[in-house]
Amino acid sequence: MLLMPVNQETASVRTTSNVTAAFNAVLRLGDPAMLIAGAAFAHWVRFGTPILQVEYVRLVVLTTVFALLVLSSKMYRSWRGRGLSAEVMHLGFRWSLVFIGVVLYATATQLTVELSRLWLGTWFAASLGGAVLLRFIIRGIAAWVRARGMDLRTAVIVGGNPDAQRIVDTMRQNPWMGIKLRGWFSTSADRCALETVKPMGRVDGLAEFVEKNHIDQVWIALPMREQGQIANVLRQLDHSTTDIKFLPDLFGLELLNHSVESIAGLPIINLRSSPLDGNARLIKAIEDKILASIILLLISPLLALIAIGIKLSDPGPVIFKQLRHGMGGKPIEVWKFRSMRMHKEEEGRITQATKGDPRIFPFGGFLRRTSLDELPQFINVLQGRMSIVGPRPHPLALNEQFKTLVDRYMQRHRVKPGITGWAQVNGFRGETDTVEKMAQRVRYDLYYLQNWSLWLDLRIVFMTVFKGFVGQNAY
């Protein structure tokens, strides 16, 4: 078994930081906690005791469940760079929706006869106040952390104009944003040079600088008429998973999970970003852990039988481990049941399995045709390296081969690789011996990134059970 070397410059890691994830987790847990604490506080104000009566407990539980649904959509995405006032207004709107729902439910079930209106009003005010206070505290801690050089995102700007200078000044004056500007690249369309930020020369050197320095964000500040230069910047970054922000023309550009946000009063458009940020990332993680645990429990006897079968068929290890690119281009170790006889590849080269491949022993061929060789990857899911559903991980050498041949090939690595995926259940399994086959697989992978939802994941899992394990190209 040969483990391929990793090109560190092409495997830059750009994922949500642990600090940011912790802040978001506190908010996700803190909001329902504020609902419960607010209800107890209001009960103490109205009745002199924080211990709720049975009918109040029932309503609080239902309200908390309803709030988890109402507050989930985009409430907990990264707020880096957005003002607190906008977040509080958004929170107040959704909090009001929750309590309007409470009033409608209480009226429909005639609970309003039994409930204290003073308690209900105090509950709304106290819980919302607690949620707002929690955000003040979290932002204060984040500002303290980022002012000391932790939890920072690095960024560069392409182009020079007054709006770009305004962004530069805003980042410099507000260190709580956690964005560190490393420099700016000039273009032929610049209207002015940017002050207080290091000039990095012409834009031709952008891609090399981004990869070498693991830059997290590239901000494009070019006139709307400069679509040729904008497209050139995007082409340079085709093999990078850095986030790209642009202000503000979208016409004719290839987008991936684009969205709009406002910073310093200017509209900023995310041209390419991960589809699994904030709440979506949490849902995906819970889905993976629950399904992987259940599946491993159910298939554990089968895993033992396969291991015995491999040992009896061919000498060598049961598990084959290989480095592949994970989310953000980070190398991960992917596990499979070994299906080939022990051999060595030339360094930097991967020979894909073909029909009648003499390296595959008979029992291994059965495992490959039925995809049973991939079952150990459920352990990779529990380890956090992979997801159950996502783009299939390719060997590092295969990525190097195809990333220059297939448009937006490396964008597949914006999410964790999967055991199964949209491409696989649509017939694109096994050998990809032509550019056309790989381009088709990538097209389905990008469709998955653009349209991800929990229901799409469950649909793919369902389709895999009935049509995804076997196929004419699986050998």
pLDDT tens-digit map of 300-313: 999 999 999 998 88
178-to-82, 145, 219 alpha-carbon distances in Å: 11, 9, 15
Share of the chain above pLDDT 90, in %: 24
| 149, 201 Cβ separation under 8 angstroms | no
Give residue 14's pLDDT band: very low, low, confident or very high (50, 70, 90): very low
Instruction: Report how far residue 58's alpha carbon sits from residue 53's, in angstroms, rounded to the nearest whole number.
Output: 9
Same domain? 236 vs 294: no
**Residue 210 vs residues 11, 241, 317, 421: alpha-carbon distances, Å:** 12, 10, 40, 30
9 part of a folded domain: no
Q: If DSSP codes are grouped into helix, strand and coil, which group holds residue 229?
A: helix
Domain identity same for 245 and 285: no
Residue 5 lies in a domain: no
User: Which of 38-42, 134-138, 195-199, 343-347 is least confident?
Assistant: 343-347
For 74, which DSSP code?
T
183 shares a domain with 320: no
Rounded to 5 degrees, what angle do the CA atoms 310, 314, 320 make?
60
CA-closest candidate to residue 376, choices 323, 335, 332: 335
At 259, the pLDDT band (50, 70, 90 cuts) reads low
In-domain check, residue 338: yes
Residue where one domain finishes, among candidates 119, 147, 175: 147
Q: Is there a contact between 466 and 434 (Cβ–Cβ < 8 Å)?
A: no
Q: What is the pLDDT of residue 429?
A: 74
Q: Residue 122: is its pLDDT beyond 80?
A: yes
The residue with tokens 């291994």 is 364
Q: Of 21, 24, 61, 38, whose CA–CA distance to 131 is shortest?
A: 38
Do 447 and 299 lie in a common domain? yes
- Do 246 and 390 have their domain in common? no
| Rounded Cα distance, 22 and 310, in Å | 43
Element spanning 322, H or E: strand 319-325
In a domain, 327, yes or no: yes
What is the 8-class DSSP label of residue 177? G
What's the pLDDT score for residue 280? 76
> Sign of the CA dihedral 122, 133, 285, 241?
positive
Q: Pairing relation of β-strands 331-337 and 319-325?
A: antiparallel
Q: What is the pLDDT of residue 26?
A: 86
Asked whether residue 474 is assigned to any structural domain, the reply reads no
Tell me how far apart the alpha carbons of residues 187 and 199 are, in angstroms, rounded to a whole number. Answer: 11
- Mean pLDDT, the chain, whole residue set: 81
pLDDT at 356 over 70: no
Structural domain containing residue 95 = 18-147
User: Could you tell me if 374 and 301 lie in one domain?
Assistant: yes
User: Could you tell me if 380 and 424 lie in one domain?
Assistant: yes
Residue 417: per-residue pLDDT: 93
Q: What is the DSSP string of 393-451?
A: P-BHHHHHHHTTTSTTGGGGGGS--EEE-HHHHTT--S---SHHHHHHHHHHHHHHHHT
CA angle 17–379–409, rounded 5-degree value: 60
- Per residue in 446-473, pLDDT (tens digit) is 889 888 888 889 889 988 887 655 555 5
Q: Count of domains in the chain?
A: 3
CA dist list (Å): 285 to 18, 25, 269, 387: 14, 13, 27, 8
Supply 1's token pair.
């078994």
**Residue 393 falls within a domain, yes or no?**
yes
In this prediction, residue 361 carries a pLDDT of 84
- Residues 257 and 322 grouped into a single domain: no
| DSSP helix, strand, coil percent of the chain (3-state; round to 5) | 50, 15, 35
Specify whether the CB–CB gap between 267 and 247 falls below 8 A. Answer: yes
- Of 6-20, 265-279, 398-412, minimum mean pLDDT range: 6-20
248 lies in the same domain as 190: yes
Residue 12's pLDDT band (boundaries 50, 70, 90)? Answer: very low
- Per-residue pLDDT band at 79 (split at 50, 70, 90): low
- The Cα 420–Cα 396 span in angstroms is 19
**Which stretch of DSSP H or E encloses residue 181?**
strand 179-186
Is there a single domain that holds both residue 22 and residue 159?
no
Q: What are phi and psi of 180, to 5 degrees?
A: -105, 115
Higher pLDDT, 432 or 448: 448
* pTM across the whole model: 0.55
Lowest pLDDT segment from 89-103, 136-150, 320-334: 136-150
Is residue 1 pLDDT above 50, yes or no?
no
Instruction: Show which of 272, 288, 309 is a domain's final residue.
Output: 272
Structure confidence at residue 7 as a pLDDT band (50, 70, 90): very low
SS3 275: coil
Task: Please indicate, yes or no, whether residues 84 and 181 belong to a single structural domain of this protein.
Answer: no
Closest CA to 272 of 391, 420, 450: 450
Contact by Cβ (8 Å): 28, 282: yes
pLDDT of residue 382: 93
Quick one: 274 exposed, middle or buried, by C-beta within 10 A (0-12, 13-18, 19+)?
A: buried
DSSP 340: B
Is residue 236 one of the residues assigned to a domain?
yes
Residue 420 reports pLDDT greater than 80: yes
Instruction: Examine the fold and report which residue of 126, 147, 168 is the final residue of a domain before the chain moves on.
Output: 147
Reported confidence tier of residue 11, pLDDT bands at 50, 70, 90 = very low
Which residue has 């006889």 as its token pair? 341
Same domain, 298 and 385: yes
Most confident segment among 4-8, 69-73, 304-308: 304-308
* Model confidence at 15: pLDDT above 50: no
- State both tokens at 228: 């040729």
Q: Report the 3 state secondary structure along 248-271.
A: CCCCCCCCECCEEEEECCEEEEEE
What is the C-alpha to C-alpha distance for residues 334 and 315, in angstroms, rounded to an integer?
21
Asked if residue 347 belongs to a domain, the reply is yes
| 192-248 per-position pLDDT tens digit | 888 888 999 898 889 889 988 889 899 998 887 788 888 888 888 888 888 888 876
- Amino acid residing at 218: V
pLDDT score recorded for residue 2: 32
Choose between 459 and 73: higher pLDDT.
459
Q: What is the CATH number of the domain that holds 254?
A: 3.40.50.720
